[in-house]
Amino acid sequence: MAGFAFELVSPEKLLFSGDVEEVVIPGIEGDFAVLKDHAPVISALRPGVLSCKDTKGEKQVLFVRGGFADVSTNGLIVLAEQAVPLTEMNDERFAHEVKLASDELASAQTEDSRRLASERLAQIETLRSVVRH
């Protein structure tokens, strides 16, 4: 299968740059897969699992916390607030993510920001339970 260009960038570093066959993204409105010749789209990300399969069939799975995905005719760029290989997401890391989300919820000033923070906390808790199994 022919691939397309994909870059995964976090504030710390470029995590991936190369040709891939498929990327599954945790979009704010649900997970979606990007394949070659996908229609252009921009989506916000929610905390969740991003997976990509390169043109050699090797798969990478990462936890991403927020950001944006930009699908264009040139390929896919994901700008993640944070991206960590799922194999590195241990109890300590999840506890840190839960604390960040809890602090965000506690300091929320509006109903909308409380709802978003509550959703983020629930998503991280769900992801933690899935990863543990």
Q: Going by C-beta distance under 8 Å and a sequence separation of 6 or more, which residues neighbour residue 51?
A: 23, 24, 59, 60, 61, 62
Note whether 39 and 51 are same-domain residues: yes
Domain termination residue (choose one: 49, 67, 85): 85
Average pLDDT, the chain: 90
Q: How far is CA 6 from the centre of its chain?
A: 14
pLDDT 10s per residue in the chain (133 long)? Answer: 579 999 999 998 999 999 999 999 999 999 999 999 999 999 999 988 899 999 999 999 998 888 999 999 999 999 999 888 888 878 888 888 889 889 998 999 999 989 888 888 887 887 777 776 5
pLDDT on residue 94: 83
Note whether 12 and 74 are same-domain residues: yes
Note whether 15 and 78 are same-domain residues: yes
Name the residue range of residue 21's domain.
4-85
Note whether 75 and 14 are same-domain residues: yes
Q: Structurally, how many domains does the chain consist of? A: 2
CATH number at residue 48: 2.60.15.10
| Residue pair 52/23 in contact by the 8 Å Cβ criterion | yes
